[in-house]
Amino acid sequence: MNLTVENILLALKAAGEETRIRILALFRSGELTVTELVTVLRQSQPRISRHLRLLCEAGLLERHREGTWIFYRLNESGEKAKLVKSLMEYIPYSDQMLQHDQERLLEVKKEREKKAAQYFQENAANWDKIRSLYVPEQQVEAYLLDVTRDLEVNDLLDVGTGTGRMLELFKNRAKHGVGIDLSREMLAIARSHLEKQDIAHMQVRQGDMYDLALKDECMDLVIFHQVLHFADDALAAIKETARILRKGGRVLIVDFMPHDMEKLREDYAHRRLGFSIDEVNDWCMVSGLSILSNEIMRGSELDIAIWTASKE
């Protein structure tokens, strides 16, 4: 669909207000909830919700509900996406007020990360029991080995390795492997698992999925096993992965299908309640990866999806 004069006027009117420009500027780095925006901008929830509604109606933002949370993000589909992209380029991010907002947003994100990190710190020792809750684990693992059987894996990266289970699983398939994780407690357990089993060609180290500190095109296989539902900005993590993948390399993403088990937010520090097949497919495609397959596995309470993508 082409843009009409009416579309453009609506979008410019929506963007032409101070708080709404501040809101748009904050969406530069991923999706946000109303509560997060209220905390950053220190305005009442009804006011922020009204601004968000106008930005959505004008096609600048998209919203999606998950349980009791509503996420907003920049519109990334269709003709309006081009308009959003151009508008975002004109925002003066070095402006003092916008910089201040960005700093407050970083504080909010840090606070949330602290909560998740605390959860993993407290649960590191029990993780091997927790990780298999609700999930057809053996079936998933057999599939991961099978879907990569034709791939020569010199270098493997396991993102958010936790206790290192994916490194163990691929020990006979990869010549070298690295697992990165933010949590030192999880890494300590992963190290001891690898040592006990004499797996010397796999290592773990502290690292962040948004900034892998690896050179371009150095990995053949990257795995995200039950990690993306913690991410603020899954797209940024997938883009960073695409950067470090060799041509012909593959990404495996294992995560929940959309669900409504809100308690996973409180009890397990999840941010997202699963992902639709299309959502992750779109992120891969935007990052320059081609989807090879989508596999769905039904669990007792939660369903799992496995996305396999490759870099052409």
For residue 43, give both structure tokens.
């305005």
Least gap, CB of 241 to ligand SAM (angstroms)? 11
Least gap, CB of 254 to ligand SAM (angstroms)? 8
CA–CA separation, 155 vs 203, rounded Å? Answer: 11
CA–CA separation, 283 vs 233, rounded Å? Answer: 10
Least gap, CB of 138 to ligand SAM (angstroms)? 14
How wide is the angle at C-alpha 303 spanned by C-alphas 158 and 144, nearest 5°? 35
Least gap, CB of 183 to ligand SAM (angstroms)? 4
Q: Which is nearer to ligand SAM, 131 or 265 (CB)?
A: 131
Q: Which is nearer to ligand SAM, 31 or 62 (CB)?
A: 31
For residue 74, give both structure tokens.
């920049």
Residue 93's contacts (CB-CB under 8 Å, 6 or more residues apart) are: 25, 28, 99, 102
Least gap, CB of 103 to ligand SAM (angstroms)? 20
The pair phi, psi for residue 153, each rounded to 5°, is -110, 95
Binding site for ligand SAM (CB under 6 A): 120, 131, 160-163, 165-166, 180-183, 186, 208-210, 225-227, 230
Q: Which is nearer to ligand SAM, 62 or 66 (CB)?
A: 66
Q: Which is nearer to ligand SAM, 20 or 270 (CB)?
A: 270
Q: Which is nearer to ligand SAM, 26 or 252 (CB)?
A: 252
Least gap, CB of 208 to ligand SAM (angstroms)? 4
Whether the CB-CB separation of 245 and 212 falls below 8 Å is answered with: no
Helix-strand-coil split of the chain, %, nearest 5: 50, 20, 30
Least gap, CB of 91 to ligand SAM (angstroms)? 26
Q: Which is nearer to ligand SAM, 40 or 140 (CB)?
A: 140
Least gap, CB of 212 to ligand SAM (angstroms)? 9
Instruction: Identify the CA nearest to 81 among candidates 241, 279, 243, 286.
Output: 286
Q: Which is nearer to ligand SAM, 13 or 110 (CB)?
A: 110
Q: Taking the CB of residue 222, how many other CB atoms lie within 10 A of it?
A: 25
CA–CA separation, 232 vs 45, rounded Å? Answer: 21
Q: Which is nearer to ligand SAM, 54 or 242 (CB)?
A: 242
Least gap, CB of 204 to ligand SAM (angstroms)? 10
CA–CA separation, 55 vs 59, rounded Å? Answer: 6
**Residue number with the smallest Cβ distance to ligand SAM:** 162
Residue 67's contacts (CB-CB under 8 Å, 6 or more residues apart) are: 260, 262, 265, 273
Q: Which is nearer to ligand SAM, 87 or 182 (CB)?
A: 182
CA–CA separation, 6 vs 278, rounded Å? Answer: 30
The residue written with tokens 């009791």 in the block is 68
